[in-house]
């Protein structure tokens, strides 16, 4: 991640670039104009050029948390900044800088192999390191925000590189300052703070079940268990197109939760902020009969109702049509609104 060595190399641009293999739904999509970003220094020139041409633009990482139309108009910046390095270490933690284009799961694997523990609960989440903080990805009781020290990004409003502390990122459940200010920041590097003291986090039901007879699992044990669970529940995108969890788990007031529980005694939920309860969106969808159902070329995955899939030939319009049917029925049955997790471009 040496800026100087790439400073003189402009970003490569391509017209009408096919992106079928750059989005995990596998939609047959093309970008009107695509730029390959391999170094942070390329970004100011690209943004200036795009502005001069009055083009709309967006950044695309692994395409794992997006719903893309058949044609992406304007400019698409393909985030391919690579590299990871140990920046510093002290008695309490190690600090690791990772390029925005690095594959998230590959980084988690690297961290585990190099004895940096804590990220193993986030194994097999698709996408890139640069996109992960925007959504504040999380799984099995861990969020990426738990391990971020600071983030380097290009601020398109100020037309300058900036560094945002963890506090400045304003992380919340599947939310961040980046998400609240779309198309303002382009994340180029994430610096993680990995504590040297480690404690297993296995309180989520699926993990707790895996370790019912092993209360002291190692980080490697948790990594393998998470991979096993995710491979069962979430189909590999190269086998069947999907974007992982399609809906956020809704958070409702305790009063509403108590009312629902009286009518639905097997309601699946988790504690949240004081006075609130988080419901399992997958359970709600399953109760409405959608699990394993198909609507044309798209459907709901047979092993996890929270995952919508493209059986081949599906489009963004097809997926959003199915999502609307699910949202409407869940609201009718439970009075709960489901929010779509992937970004709709």
For the chain, domain boundaries: 3-79, 84-195, 241-344
Query: CATH top-level class for 84-195?
Result: alpha beta
Other C-beta atoms closer than 10 Å to the C-beta of 128 total 27
- In this prediction, residue 292 carries a pLDDT of 96
Exactly one of 174, 193, 230, 277 is catalytic; name it.
Answer: 174
3 carries an active-site annotation: no
Exactly one of 22, 64, 245, 277 is catalytic; name it.
Answer: 245
Architecture of domain 3-79: 2-Layer Sandwich (3.30)
Residues 189 and 98: beta-carbon distance below 8 Å: yes
- In this prediction, residue 8 carries a pLDDT of 53
Answer yes or no: CATH 3.90.78.10 is held by domain 241-344: yes
- Cα 229 from Cα 24, distance rounded (Å): 19
Average pLDDT rounded to a whole number, residues 275-291:
97
341 carries an active-site annotation: yes
Q: Per the confidence metrics, is the pTM higher than 0.75?
A: yes
- In this prediction, residue 6 carries a pLDDT of 44
* pLDDT tens column, 298-342: 999 999 999 999 999 999 999 999 999 999 999 999 999 999 999
Per-residue b or e along 19-52, where b marks 16 or more CB atoms closer than 10 Å to that residue's CB = beebbbbbbebbbebbbbbbbbbbbeebbebbee
Binning pLDDT at 50, 70 and 90, where does residue 273 land? confident
174 carries an active-site annotation: yes
């Amino acid at each position: 991640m040496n800026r100087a060595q790439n400073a003189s190399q402009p970003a490569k641009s391509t017209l009408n670039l096919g992106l079928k293999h750059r989005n995990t739904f596998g939609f047959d999509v093309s970008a009107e104009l695509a730029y390959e970003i391999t170094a942070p220094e390329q970004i100011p020139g690209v943004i200036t050029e795009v502005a001069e041409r009055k083009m709309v633009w967006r950044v695309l990482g692994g395409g794992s948390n997006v719903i893309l139309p058949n044609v992406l108009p304007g400019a698409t910046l393909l985030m391919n900044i690579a590299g990871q390095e140990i920046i510093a270490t002290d008695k309490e933690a190690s600090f690791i800088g990772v390029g925005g284009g690095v594959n998230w799961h590959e980084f988690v694997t690297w961290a585990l192999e190099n004895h940096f523990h804590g990220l193993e609960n986030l194994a097999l989440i698709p996408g890139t390191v640069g996109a992960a903080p925007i959504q504040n990805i999380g799984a099995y009781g861990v969020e990426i925000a738990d391990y971020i020290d600071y983030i380097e990004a290009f601020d398109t409003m100020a037309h300058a590189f900036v560094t945002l502390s963890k506090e400045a990122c304003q992380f919340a459940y599947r939310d961040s300052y980046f998400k609240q200010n779309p198309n303002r920041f382009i994340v180029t590097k994430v610096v993680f703070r990995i504590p040297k003291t480690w404690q297993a986090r296995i309180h989520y039901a699926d993990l707790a079940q895996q370790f019912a007879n092993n209360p002291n699992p190692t980080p490697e044990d948790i990594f393998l268990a998470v991979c096993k669970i995710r491979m069962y529940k979430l189909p590999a995108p190269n086998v069947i197109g999907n974007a992982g969890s399609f809906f956020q788990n809704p958070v409702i007031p305790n009063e509403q939760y108590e009312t629902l529980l009286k009518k639905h005694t097997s309601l699946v939920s988790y504690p949240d902020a004081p006075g609130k309860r988080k419901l399992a969106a997958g359970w709600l969808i399953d109760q409405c009969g959608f699990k394993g159902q198909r609507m044309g070329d798209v459907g709901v995955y047979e092993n996890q109702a929270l995952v919508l899939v493209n059986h081949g030939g599906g489009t963004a319009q097809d997926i959003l049509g199915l999502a609307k049917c699910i949202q409407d029925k869940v609201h009718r049955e439970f009075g709960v609104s489901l929010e779509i997790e992937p970004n709709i471009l």
